[in-house]
A and B are shown apart, each in its own frame.
Chain A
């Protein structure tokens, strides 16, 4: 009886020490890219995903936009998002996510202004170099002009004292009808994050 108990105890202690040892070894693992990430207080992947979801859901369900996109797929161009925070944030990554989601909804089409120089170079090669068959060359001056422009701001307010650091982000996105200059849609997403120092200041 005593032997049996001893062997159970031995088994348990080996399992527990294995668990403890496992916790000490550093290892690399693949994680869910959509998981909530709270490593630091800085702008992170969860913030980017939250902003994109909110903005795309909002623009696609806004009644006047729904009315416009019901019959046709208007052409849009996305301007840069102005980063007014004190952090270095890749705002192009935010607009990329937003425009990809809007494009894949099938409600809008996009023109990419960041590639205008490359497109001009390629069209010049096709039409002026004499190396491309005229029947297959893409014609200059037949691109479709954008009807709408999307642009916005990302700003932040950071406050801290000895124990707490609080960051508030506000992302504003607007959709302008280029010809009339009217803002057809606008929305904001607010995010607040707070870090409290633990008892031992870690």
Chain B
């Protein structure tokens, strides 16, 4: 009888723990992947930060390219869905000048994209003005 009671308690403790875990995980779902590019700086030209391992297993950013069009930095990146299922994500560009101050902060909105299973799409952005020297692309699950 005593043993049955203890296993019952264990069961409830596990249920409560999983409820808490789900609540905590859902609070973390806003973070995602971050691709940072500084075309003029050879040392930190491109790098990728992963804030969400679960998302990084499903979505990846690759092929970061830049060029200048009429004095404006133009960026192209590839977003790939690594899973066989459709995946909805959103992305946002941020732009920085020579002193790493954000240019036109908060102007670009999150853009939703839907990726089919194993699909890759190219994501392109044009800097808001000629003072931009580096960029950041944030990707998060919806």
Interface of A with B (CB < 8 Å)?
5, 8-9, 12-13, 15-16, 19, 32-36, 45-46, 49-50, 53, 56-57, 60-61, 65-67, 69-70, 101, 104-107
User: When chains A and B are docked, how far (Å) is the Cα of A69 from the Cα of B69?
Assistant: 11
Interface of A is mostly: helix
Give the residues in chain A near B46, CB-CB below 8 Å: none
A-B contact count (CB 8 A): 82
Give the residues in chain A near B9, CB-CB below 8 Å: 5, 9
List CB contacts (< 8 Å) of B95-142 with chain A: 104, 106-112, 124-126, 128-130, 142
Give the residues in chain A near B13, CB-CB below 8 Å: 5, 8-9, 12
Nearest chain A CB to B92 CB, angstrom units: 7
Known A16-B20, A36-B90, A36-B142: A61·B70 in contact at CB below 8 Å? yes
User: When chains A and B are docked, how far (Å) is the Cα of A101 from the Cα of B72?
Assistant: 13
Q: A106, B129: Cβ atoms under 8 Å?
A: yes
Q: Of B6, B20, B111, which one neighbours A15 at CB under 8 angstroms?
A: B20
User: When chains A and B are docked, how far (Å) is the Cα of A13 from the Cα of B20?
Assistant: 10
| Nearest B residue (CB) for A34 | B109
Give the residues in chain A near B19, CB-CB below 8 Å: 16, 19
Give the residues in chain A near B23, CB-CB below 8 Å: 19
Known A12-B20, A105-B128: A66·B69 in contact at CB below 8 Å? yes
A sample of 14 cross-chain residue pairs with beta-carbon separation below 8 angstroms, ordered by A number, consists of A5-B9, A8-B13, A16-B16, A16-B20, A19-B23, A36-B142, A60-B69, A60-B72, A61-B70, A70-B70, A101-B107, A101-B128, A106-B129, A106-B130
Give the residues in chain B near A65, CB-CB below 8 Å: 70
Q: Of B70, B92, B130, which one neighbours A34 at CB under 8 angstroms?
A: B92
